[in-house]
Amino acid sequence: MDKKLLIGKALKAKEKAYTPYSGFNVGAALLTKTGKIYTGCNVECVSYTPTICAERTAIAKAVSEGERSFIAIAITGDADWTFPCGVCRQVIREFGKDIIVIVAKSEDEYREYTLEELMPHSFGPEDLD
């Protein structure tokens, strides 16, 4: 996995964010097991509730193209370290506990976690069996 490439795509996606209310831009790049990369940015709405995060945008794009198996997701935002929110962590978790989450300031400055580290004792599809 080329982490710098993934982070670079997240940084480019961040530039497309629609954030007229918060001004806080986030970009994400999702690597699938087939090797494809799907990007996303946050899209705000005046009433905030319908706002969608960059991570969920990337996941929705991948799923809408038939992808269901993910290796890693890189996230970059306007804060020093922008971590996925709780809702995004749960959506990422839907597709596996072993997904690598890369939180980046730049292509050279990043931190890497497993989803299990960010969301221990999570609830997932297998819990319904």
Catalytic center residues? 55
User: The tokens of 56 are what?
Assistant: 């969920």
Count helices and strands in the chain by DSSP H and E runs: 4, 5
Rounded to an integer, what distance in angstroms lies between the CA atom of residue 95 and that of residue 39? 17
User: The tokens of 39 are what?
Assistant: 């990007």
